[in-house]
Amino acid sequence: MIIRKKEHWFKMLFVWHGSVLPRLLPRLFILFILALGVVYLRGIIFSFKVPLNPAPLTLFGFVLALFLGFRNNASYERFWEGRKLWGALLNTSRSLTRQALTLKNVQNSSLSVHEFIQLLAAFIFALKHQLRGTDAYDDLKERLNENQLKIVSASKYKPAVIMKLLAEWVQQAKDEGSIDTIQQARFDENFDKLSDIVGGCERIISTPIPYSYRVLLHRTVYIYCFLLPFGLVDSLRWFTPLIVVFVAYTFVAFEAIADEIEEPFGTEANDLALNSMCVMIDETIHEMAGEKIKVSQKVTHNIID
């Protein structure tokens, strides 16, 4: 994800990195060449003058803009829900860490609070990798012991398995008398929250916007852009290619942005900064325990997540 300070309005006109413009340039170039050809031929194809004028295109463009607005709202809602889920993950992780650190009898038991925190950190990184479809082994091996790593690595849904290990740690604390039934129930409440977060993220990643709706809007945008030169050529002449490219950039860019943020857990420039969020949660729960994270466990904070 691109993380920038607020820039001067003039500099933003020339921002390239993080913009969808680089991906759109080939399409805009094709539209520019098409518009040049239409102007050169004066809107005539095989001796037939295409009878278009700006009036119907203006009306159709307004309706298309409304549909693109709904499309972007739907995509941003998914993006924002993903962000809220990861915000809840931060809060729940801190709550679980605080509960583990304040157990009265834990110092006299065989339990290790450090192990609990490492399991919790492993859960966070495992969730990130599951959502992105990447290999979690390197992050897990630094946070799990050999037996835990073997169990988790053999599983498909690693966050769920790590939640089970966290619950087993709490059950052991209950068996050893470090916590009572009420404290165990409070742990279970936060484990339920973790489960809800995982389920919410999985719902977003496994339920895209209906494909037929995307195809319809995609086709409509490009048909409109290809017809636009025929409606403007009589009134704008050689200015037609510039206006067509500008209008096409607006519509096509809106569609491209909606496609990009529809799945907020990816690695594109405008997706959620999961790497940075994982590191931040890892740092805060270890700081609560008075521990320093090893350098090998940190992820470099770049501009792009």
- Please report which confidence band the pLDDT of residue 8 belongs to, taking 50, 70 and 90 as the band edges: low
Phi then psi dihedrals of residue 304, to 5 deg: -100, 130
Q: Contact at 8 Å (CB) between 124 and 276? A: no
Q: Contact at 8 Å (CB) between 270 and 257? A: yes
CA atoms in the 13 A half-sphere facing the CB of 66: 5
Alpha helices in the chain (DSSP H): 9-12, 21-41, 54-101, 113-132, 137-141, 146-153, 158-175, 181-206, 211-236, 240-262, 274-288
What pLDDT, on a 0 to 100 scale, did the predictor assign at position 296?
Answer: 44
State percent of the chain over pLDDT 70.
88
Strand partners, 49: 44
Mean pLDDT, residues 197-201 taken together: 96
pLDDT of residue 145 exceeding 70, the answer is: yes
What pLDDT, on a 0 to 100 scale, did the predictor assign at position 302?
Answer: 38
State percent of the chain over pLDDT 90.
51
Which is nearest to 110 in space by CA: 57, 172, 17? 172
Residues 262, 281: Cα–Cα separation, whole Å: 24
Mean pLDDT, residues 168-194 taken together: 91
pLDDT of residue 300 exceeding 60, the answer is: no
The pTM of this model reads 0.84
Ranges 6-10, 107-111, 119-123, 210-214: which has the least confidence = 107-111
pLDDT of residue 305 exceeding 60, the answer is: no
Q: Contact at 8 Å (CB) between 265 and 272? A: yes
Helix axes of 54-101 and 211-236: crossing angle, nearest 10 degrees: 140
pLDDT of residue 129 exceeding 90, the answer is: yes
What pLDDT, on a 0 to 100 scale, did the predictor assign at position 7?
Answer: 67
Q: Contact at 8 Å (CB) between 197 and 88? A: yes
Q: What is the CA radius of gyration of the chain?
A: 27
Phi then psi dihedrals of residue 45, to 5 deg: -125, 120
Residue 118 vs residues 113, 121, 148, 192: alpha-carbon distances, Å: 9, 5, 11, 19
pLDDT of residue 130 exceeding 50, the answer is: yes
In this structure, which amino acid lies at residue 237? Answer: R
Ranges 210-214, 284-288, 298-302: which has the least confidence = 298-302
Mean pLDDT, residues 160-175 taken together: 93
What pLDDT, on a 0 to 100 scale, did the predictor assign at position 189?
Answer: 95
Ranges 82-96, 195-209, 251-265: which has the least confidence = 251-265
What pLDDT, on a 0 to 100 scale, did the predictor assign at position 301?
Answer: 39
pLDDT of residue 27 exceeding 60, the answer is: yes
Q: Which of 188-202, 250-264, 288-302 has the highest mean pLDDT?
A: 188-202
Q: Contact at 8 Å (CB) between 191 and 163? A: yes
Mean pLDDT, residues 107-127 taken together: 86
- Please report which confidence band the pLDDT of residue 136 belongs to, taking 50, 70 and 90 as the band edges: very high
What pLDDT, on a 0 to 100 scale, did the predictor assign at position 4?
Answer: 57
Which is nearest to 269 in space by CA: 71, 81, 23? 23
Mean pLDDT, residues 108-124 taken together: 86
pLDDT of residue 48 exceeding 90, the answer is: no
> Who has greater pLDDT, 47 or 74?
74
Other CB atoms within a 10 A radius of the CB of residue 209 amount to 16
Helix axes of 113-132 and 158-175: crossing angle, nearest 10 degrees: 160
Buried b (16+ CB within 10 A) or exposed e, 90-103: eebbbebbebbeeb
DSSP state of 297: G
Other CB atoms within a 10 A radius of the CB of residue 121 amount to 27
Phi-psi region of 208 (alpha: psi -120 to 50; beta: other; left: phi over 0): beta
